[in-house]
Chain A
Amino acid sequence: HTTEDTSGLLRHVKFQSSNFENILTWDAGPASAPDTVYSVEYKKYGEKEWLAKAGCQRITQKFCNLTVETRNHTEFYYAKVTAVSSGGPPVTKMTDRFSSLQHTTIRPPDVTCIPKVRSIQMLVHPTLTPVLSEDGHQLTLEEIFHDLFYRLKLHVNHTYQMNLEGKQREYEFLGLTPDTEFLGSITILTPILSKESAPYTCRVKTLPDRTWAYSFSGAVLFSMGFLVGLLCYLGYRYITKPPVPPNSLNVQRVLSFQPLRFIQEHVLIPVLDLSGPSSLPQPIQYSQVVVSGPREPPGAGRRRHSLSDLTYVGQSDGSILQPTNGPAQQTLSPPSYAPKALPEVQPLSYAPQVASDAKALLYSPQQGIKTGPATYDPQDVLDSWPASYAVCVEDSGKDSTPGILSSPKHLKLQEDTLVRSCLPGDLSLQEVTSLGEEEAQRPKSLPPPLGFCTNGPDLHTLHSEEPETPRYLKGGLSLLSSVQIEGHPVSLPLHLHSVSCSPSDQGPSPWGLLDSLVCPKDEGPVAETEAILPSAVASELEQSTELDSLFKGLALTVQWES
């Protein structure tokens, strides 16, 4: 040593090493002056030269960090401090031979303590050191000390503790009491060099056992979920619920419409049925019409006029237009006549009714004369309306009774019709057509509106049938007689319609036509009656019963009219 060591200025020069961080420290002696400064030098053991530590020359503090200079843990180092004070010689003092591997102390480990309900988990984190490996990366304590391990303790109470040891970095103390405080400690040990770190301590409290709380919260969550679901369902139903229909679309109106539709549907079905069979006879009827034309040219002309009159009476509004298009209407009328040929054919089968009709015609002229002036007056016409309605009602009631009663009803009706038919010839023709229709309707049970519609074509068909065969003529006459009886209600509404439309114009023309028509019909019935008389004795008996019923009927009708 260049200078003698005196304890007056400098003493206790030594390395303080912890986790391989090497700090040189010293103390000033009692003789140290306030202006004393210190300089530090270091060297490796076995080398001759001392190296001055930069940053630690002529310093006043009493420590110097030599970690970087002494980081090789397999080497031995020396360091010395020179104290310089004014007024005295410098004093130098050297450390003992220093080996960081042997001398360094180990600091407490870095640990994370995690409390749980019935356990405590401890995680040990690795500790880096300034020591470098050959490739230059920092080494951990585990890499330097191959025999390093951890010792863990858990103090449960003053008399009991749990211990764990090992090299791994994760530990867990199990079987603890919930909601209880424990004291844990972790120590690092290296047995070969007898190194032991100071313990790391952590005071932790286990978590409370809230199993009931979890169950309760689960129940609460479930109930809340259920409520939310219920609300969603109700909302969905509310949204999808159809709105209340406005008053304009109330149920009553809907119900009122539906039945109408159904009725129409039912009505259409029979029309289709009628149209089906009618399609077949149409061509036959056309041929008949054509044949009748050339045989009786003057009669055909009159019939055509009568057809036009019928159309006028049937459609009061359309009658004004029809005269201008007369030929077209005449051409159109045949198709409408065709479907009604079948009902006209059926009455021919009723032979006994024909006989009764013929007898009734014998009495009809006298009654007709009496009722003539009444029909001319408008007031009488109005009175006759309810009478005709009454007759219709009675007929319908009597029809429901047995067949025997039904025959006198027909006789009564026939008498009435005969009386009316004498005066208005044209009207009588119309009545005949209407009676034919009614007879046809009764067996087929057709509705009344159809009857009104078929007035015109029936007349045309009857006219066509008469000239062809005498039998048909007889049948037609019987039909005419039957129509006369029921004709009263039919004729009266027709007159009313015509009067309401154009009484002045229509008044004289129909009367003229009627007068012309009355003459040929009067001759026709007489011939028929002569032929019927020699037919059979049985028919006479029937006629006697019929006469009784006719008288009864006549009395009833006379009373109503008065």
Chain B
Amino acid sequence: MSVLRKSMSFSLMGTLAASCLLLVALWAQKADALPINSQCKLEAANFQQPYIVNRTFMLAKEASLADNNTDVRLIGEELFRGVKAKDQCYLMKQVLNFTLEDVLLPQSDRFQPYMQEVVPFLTKLSSHLSPCHISGDDQNIQKNVRQLKETVQKLGESGEIKAIGELDLLFMSLRNACV
């Protein structure tokens, strides 16, 4: 009789242990999923401010007038090639950070007074997206961003002007991907 009791207790303990392991595993999966979805989002109100939207578009227009190269487009179909819809916001975050650091900062003295109003707006959006990360393979994303960077660098100053000329495309793409 004592032997039977011991065997029963062991089986029960085993079952409980297995159940706990399953629960922990499920919880871990949910924890991984929730942060990605919730952090790669921007409020729609950020894109519904008529004044700043107008300033951004005016800045882009003025820069595009200085861009005579109509054959090259930085933010277009090639940028989103191979990227899943749910990862497009992370992609645009990378482009936004590149534009702020490598394009707008060196050209901060040009295209005034629009430049001084648009840069803070874009900086705020970038800070809202700082927690945005993805799990899994991001090779395509990194590849496409790298190609954009190379094009700008290859074109030199005209590349920087082109990037500023496409701020309206950047704005619309961020809204479509992150809202």
Contact = CB atoms under 8 A, between A and B. Distances in A.
B37 to A, nearest CB: 23
B65 interface: yes
B70 A102 contact: no
Interface in B19-64: 47-48, 50, 53-54, 57, 61, 64
B71 A193 contact: no
Contact of A78 (B70, B76, B172): B70
B65 A96 contact: yes
Nearest to A75: B76
Nearest to B173: A74
Nearest to A97: B64
B50 A102 contact: no
A194 B71 contact: no
Contacts of A538: none
A157 B1 CA distance: 103
A241 B15 CA distance: 108
Interface stretch (A42-50, A124-132, A275-283, A404-412): A42-50
Given A46-B76, A102-B168, A192 B71 contact: no
B70 A147 contact: no
A29 interface: no
B34 to A, nearest CB: 28
Contacts of A17: none
Given A96-B61, A96-B65, A97-B64, A43 B50 contact: no
B6 to A, nearest CB: 68
A191 B50 contact: yes
A142 B16 CA distance: 58
A241 to B, nearest CB: 87
Contacts of A45: 70, 73
Interface string A202-245: 00000000000000000000000000000000000000000000
Identify whether the interface residues of A are mostly helix, strand, loop, or mixed: loop
Nearest to A44: B73
Contact of B50 (A47, A74, A99, A194): A194
B116 to A, nearest CB: 20
Using C-beta atoms within 8 Å of the partner chain, give the interface range for chain B.
Answer: 10 to 19
Contacts of A78: 70
B72 interface: yes
Nearest to B68: A1
Interface string A348-385: 00000000000000000000000000000000000000
Among A43, A45, A94, residue most surrounded by chain B Cβ atoms (within 10 Å): A45
Given A102-B57, A192-B48, A194-B54, A47 B71 contact: yes
Contacts of B53: 192-194
Interface in A16-68: 43, 45-48
A293 B97 CA distance: 167
A46 B71 contact: yes
A416 B70 CA distance: 170
Contacts of B76: 46
B95 to A, nearest CB: 16
Given A96-B64, A96-B65, A46 B72 contact: yes
A48 B71 contact: yes
Contacts of A191: 48, 50
Interface string A174-197: 000000000000000001111000
Contacts of B70: 43, 45-46, 78, 94, 97
Give 5 nearest A-B pairs by CB, closest first: A46-B73, A48-B71, A97-B64, A194-B50, A46-B76
Given A46-B70, A97-B61, A97-B165, 18 more contacts: A46-B71, A46-B73, A46-B76, A48-B71, A74-B172, A76-B169, A78-B70, A94-B70, A97-B64, A99-B168, A102-B57, A102-B168, A191-B48, A191-B50, A192-B50, A193-B50, A194-B53, A194-B54
